[in-house]
Amino acid sequence: MKTISIKDDICIKGELTTCGSKMLANFKPPYNATVVDKLAAACFNVIGGNTMDENSSIDADFALCSDHAGLARRFAMANSLIALKPTYGSVSRYGLITPAPSLDQISPIGKTVRDVAELYSVICGMDERDSTTVERDYPNFCENLDKGIEGIIVGTAFCRPQQNILGGKMPPLQKTIPIELPSIEYASTVFQIIAYAETFSNLARYDGIKFGYRSENAATLAELYENTRAEGFGYDTKKQIITGAIALSRDNRHLYYDRAIRGRAKLCAELDNAFAQSDVIITPLDDSWTVIPNLTGCPAIAVGGIQIIAPKFSEELLFRAARTIEIAGGDSNA
Amino acid sequence: MLNPKYEMVIGLETHAELSTESKIFCACKNEFGSEVNTNCCPVCMGMPGSLPQLNKMAVEYAIMMGHALNCEINLVSKMDRKNYFYPDLPKSYQVSQVEQPICGKGHIDLYVNGETKRIGINQLHIEEDTAKLIHEDDATLIDFNRAMVPLIEIVSAPDFRSLAEVEAYLDNIKAILEYLDISDAKMQEGSIRCDVNVSINEVGATEFGTRIEVKNVSTFSGALRAIEYEVARHIEILERGEEVQSETRRWDDMKGETIPMRGKEANDYLVFTDPDFLPIVLEKSYVDELKTRIPTLPNERVIKYVTEYSIPESEAAVLSHSKSRSDFFEECVTIGNATPKSLANWVLGDISKIINDGKFTLSDISPQSIVEMVRNIESGKISNTAGKTVLDELFTTDKSVEQIIADKGLAQLNDTSALEQIVADVLAANPKTIEDYKSGKTNVLGFLVGQCMKASRGTGNPQILNDMIKGILDN
Amino acid sequence: MKNIDITYFAKLAHIAVSAEELPKFQQDIEQTLESFGNLPEFDDVKIEIDTTNPIRLRDDKVAQTFTQEEILANAPKQSGGCIVIPKTVE
């Protein structure tokens, strides 16, 4: 029986789904996230409630984690696992409790590339309940894993020579092209502004009225709102919410939100340019490159300490490249 | 009433609930009057992880209304979030269309006080309705059945300059919704509401005055009274030499006044494109096909009835407000041989009265039979009073007009010699009345005609009798 | 950007911030906004609506799958089938 550990921001019907927050400490959703339904149908044993922060591990063969700020990829890296942040729109977000809807995708995590490919095959697909999912024919991603990367142009965002990446375990790549995104230095800021703005809006529904935590100091409506949210959210969350409100406000949005939206479009265009010259790009998992897949919607896989990015809906290519690295790393029995 | 030094400038934002089967972003039932919180799901309750699905029919109805208001239809539009906190708003944002709505600019031509007045429409968009708050003594209850019911919002330009124009517009919007069958537009169920924007300025001023918004107007008469109240309030402020404060107020129907509204000030909705929706892209052929389904609309019918059929404006307006009655009337006119004005009187008068009583509908009678009845009246074959009897029989039986006239003996007696005999008999029996008439009390003529009608068992032609008697007495 | 009115924005976000908490929020948020200040205008970028993946519209059919009990199961306070909140003056 395949076991899968699910992060505690993915809804499982009738089970506590808390997002590690006081605000949802007693919340039991009356519905499953679509991905949970799909896993059950594919005979996975689903275990919910994993916080998947820096200190946790997964006591299962597979895992699912949200990835709006590279969390899944970072978690995988910390645990010597492999994670895929899928193309935006390829996995249903129905039942994913996210603060940042345009940046997040549920990410399959596994011990091997094959496991991740198998898990992705189960969870990907159009979902009626999530109208941002794209309808298309998704292939069986396990089929062509060992095809290798012959003839694939690999771009590299690393400054140092390729033999120094991955501790020398990088397979020799015939064609590598150095890739630069002129606006990369702004990626992290662009990401933060959009994330905080969406967080302000997506977390506004936590008001102590319909579900979740309600403050005991709630004699008036104003107290109900303000005390519930002051007590139910942690400091960082509150800071992000308030910052998000500032970024969207009438007097300030021209400096923050509106600029960030244009910055996002610019980064998308620059990445498109990069993909005109290369088929996949290997990048470090630093603050800037980690958010590029979230900002652009492109898929990215974290394997062996680096990140590989490909154009939208090119997961097949990503798996082949990741598999090549996996084999070169000495895990050819995976 | 209005100080002639000033003119009023009014804009209206009208919200109408659409009569779709399901809600706008979820498949819950769209039904008024259900038991509380039984038409709900995680989506319309704003539960964590829920996502919206846009109802195709809501989009279609919005386009139809856009066509009716001569709006540009935007083939590409998007949904936005208007963020604010209120207990009737589960997600603490309302999904609406601010920047790129389904329908752009349009207009409606109204016939008011003998003239055509064009009111501009700035935009028309779809959005979700809020939940309902039920206030008790020491708490407030929330029923989420209404949350996510589809709404269209029609934003007019500030083109209204009189209450008559506002009234004509609201009556027309309601009538169009009924004509298109996209909303039941029942004020008492809250399915049509408006917010009113009011400002005043001195006649001839180059700029509009400070604008205030009045919310929570749920009846058309309330809208008119709210405008009256606000205009008077603004004038009073200006005459004192002070300035009108820009604010949002709410209309209190019981007290008949507007009150500053708490909790909805600031109005910085922190609007941004809703990431849970992809753009709405429409095919031009689909949009064009919808236009062909638009019937002739109320305001166009009013203009026709007044100019072609010489029907008074107010009656033409009332006739146009109900599509079924208007269609029925027009079918009668098409059949011909009866004057439209008479037909209108019958449809608006006795026929409407019978239908409003609720036991019968228009489908219980046919245009052909009504035309025949009116034709018989106009040719003098039956009296107007007899017509009412015919009408009753047409509703309750399957008989034809001819049969009814024969069975009930309603044929008017027009034969001069028979009538002369009746007149002679009545005059012989009422010598005192003749004396009264000759001494100046000419109104007793009616009594004498009535006596002749009685003697003829109602079949005498009252006009002929009247002229006969008058002719004899005056000589 | 200095002197942003945190109290106003906290109110807008409906989060109570005590007098003791305010300075830390003020400092941290101003610092964040300062880092945001490095963003250029990007005014050569024109935002257009991407029509390559338009929204899928749902047929107008009813599918009721939740009872009143299920819907209110997580409610902090309920009575007679409704959610209860403090008396709200409109």
Q: How many CB pairs under 8 A join B and C?
A: 121
| Paired residues of B82 in beta bridges | B94
| Count of helices and strands (H, E) across chain C | 3, 2
What distances in angstroms separate CA B204 from CA A31, B8, B208, B209, one per listed residue? 62, 12, 10, 12
SS3 A48: strand
Residues 6 or more apart whose Cβ sits within 8 Å of residue B56: C57, C58, C59, C60
Q: What is the 3-state secondary structure (H, E, C) of B176-204?
A: HHHHHCCCCCCHHHCCEEEEEEEEEEECC
- Minimal Cα–Cα distance from A298 to chain B, Å? 16
Burial of B81 (0-12, 13-18, 19+ CB in 10 A): buried
Q: Which of C4, C16, C42 is nearest residue A230 as measured by Cβ atoms?
A: C16
Q: Which of A328, A330, A331, A334 shows the shortest CA–CA distance to A162?
A: A328
| Paired residues of A208 in beta bridges | none
Rounded Cα–Cα distance for residues A207 and B455 (Å): 82
| Paired residues of B252 in beta bridges | B257
Domains of chain A: 2-184+261-328 (3.90.1300.10)
Count of Cβ atoms closer than 10 Å to residue B255 Cβ: 9
The reply to whether residue B54 touches residue C57, judged by beta carbons under 8 angstroms, is yes
pLDDT in tens, A219-237: 999 999 999 999 999 999 9
The reply to whether residue C9 touches residue A247, judged by beta carbons under 8 angstroms, is no
Which tokens belong to B363? 């489908």
- Closest chain A residue to C69 measured between Cα atoms? A30
| Paired residues of B257 in beta bridges | B252
Rounded Cα–Cα distance for residues A4 and A119 (Å): 10
Q: Which of B53, B134, B250 is nearest residue C58 as measured by Cβ atoms?
A: B53
Residues 6 or more apart whose Cβ sits within 8 Å of residue C85: A209, A221, A224, B87, B139, B140, B141, B142, C77
Residue type, A321: A
DSSP per-residue string spanning A195-245: HHHHHHHHTTT-SSSSSS---S--SSHHHHHHHHHHHHS-HHHHHHHHHHH
Q: What is the pLDDT along chain B (475 residues), one digit of tens a residue?
A: 568 889 999 999 999 999 999 999 999 999 999 999 999 999 999 999 999 999 999 999 999 999 999 999 999 999 999 999 999 999 999 999 999 999 999 999 998 888 889 999 999 999 999 999 999 999 999 999 999 999 999 999 999 999 999 999 999 999 999 999 999 888 777 789 999 999 998 898 888 899 999 987 888 889 999 999 999 999 999 999 999 888 889 898 889 999 888 654 557 999 999 999 999 999 999 999 999 999 999 988 998 999 999 999 889 999 998 899 999 999 999 998 899 999 999 999 999 999 988 889 898 999 999 999 999 998 888 888 888 889 999 999 988 998 888 888 788 777 778 888 888 888 899 888 888 888 888 888 889 888 888 888 777 888 888 888 888 888 7
Q: Is C65 on the interface with B (CB under 8 A)?
A: yes
Measure CA A244 to chain center. Answer: 20
The reply to whether residue C60 touches residue B134, judged by beta carbons under 8 angstroms, is no
Q: Which of C61, C65, C72 is nearest residue B37 as measured by Cβ atoms?
A: C72
Q: Is A96 on the interface with B (CB under 8 A)?
A: yes
The reply to whether residue A229 touches residue C33, judged by beta carbons under 8 angstroms, is no
- Residue for token digits 């205009």? B231
Q: Is B174 on the interface with A (CB under 8 A)?
A: no
The reply to whether residue C62 touches residue B27, judged by beta carbons under 8 angstroms, is yes
pLDDT in tens, A184-204: 999 999 999 999 999 999 999
- Minimal Cα–Cα distance from C15 to chain B, Å? 11
- Closest chain A residue to B81 measured between Cα atoms? A201
Burial of B35 (0-12, 13-18, 19+ CB in 10 A): exposed
Q: Is C52 on the interface with B (CB under 8 A)?
A: no
Measure CA B343 to chain center. Answer: 21
For an interface test with A, the pick among C45, C46, C61 (most A C-beta atoms closer than 10 Å) comes out as C45
Work out the pLDDT band at A138, boundaries 50, 70, 90.
Answer: very high
What distances in angstroms separate CA B468 from CA B381, B394, B420, B457, one per listed residue? 18, 33, 8, 18
Q: Which of C12, C61, C64 is nearest residue B39 as measured by Cβ atoms?
A: C64
| Paired residues of B132 in beta bridges | B143
The reply to whether residue C61 touches residue B27, judged by beta carbons under 8 angstroms, is yes
| Paired residues of B80 in beta bridges | B96, B273
Which tokens belong to A287? 């603050």
8 Å CB contact between A125 and A138? yes
| Paired residues of B2 in beta bridges | none
Q: Is C16 on the interface with B (CB under 8 A)?
A: no
Q: Which of B54, B93, B268 is nearest residue A250 as measured by Cβ atoms?
A: B268
**pLDDT value at residue B246:** 86
Which tokens belong to B420? 């002369």
**pLDDT value at residue C30:** 97
pLDDT in tens, C17-68: 999 999 999 999 999 999 999 899 999 999 999 999 999 999 999 998 899 9
Rounded Cα–Cα distance for residues A232 and B430 (Å): 97
Output b/e per residue, A258-267; b: 16+ Cβ within 10 A. bbbbbbbbbb
What distances in angstroms separate CA A45 from CA A107, A110, A127, A201, B275, one per listed residue? 17, 15, 22, 34, 32
Rounded Cα–Cα distance for residues A221 and B303 (Å): 52
What distances in angstroms separate CA B325 from CA A329, B312, B416, one per listed residue? 82, 17, 39
pTM listed for this prediction:
0.90
Q: Is C40 on the interface with A (CB under 8 A)?
A: yes
Q: Residue A332: pLDDT above 60? A: no
Q: Which residues in B lie closer than 8 A to residue A130 (C-beta atoms)? A: 51
Rounded Cα–Cα distance for residues B295 and A24 (Å): 52
Q: Which of A112, A88, A123, A57 shows the shortest CA–CA distance to A293?
A: A88
The reply to whether residue B272 touches residue A248, judged by beta carbons under 8 angstroms, is yes
For an interface test with A, the pick among C11, C15, C82, C84 (most A C-beta atoms closer than 10 Å) comes out as C15
Q: Which of B28, B42, B142 is nearest residue C83 as measured by Cβ atoms?
A: B142
- Closest chain B residue to A220 measured between Cα atoms? B139
Rounded Cα–Cα distance for residues C71 and C64 (Å): 12
The reply to whether residue C85 touches residue B140, judged by beta carbons under 8 angstroms, is yes
- Closest chain A residue to B143 measured between Cα atoms? A210
- Minimal Cα–Cα distance from A130 to chain B, Å? 6
The reply to whether residue C55 touches residue B21, judged by beta carbons under 8 angstroms, is no
Q: Is B52 on the interface with A (CB under 8 A)?
A: yes
- Residue for token digits 């996949």? A280
8 Å CB contact between B121 and B156? yes
- Minimal Cα–Cα distance from B97 to chain A, Å? 16
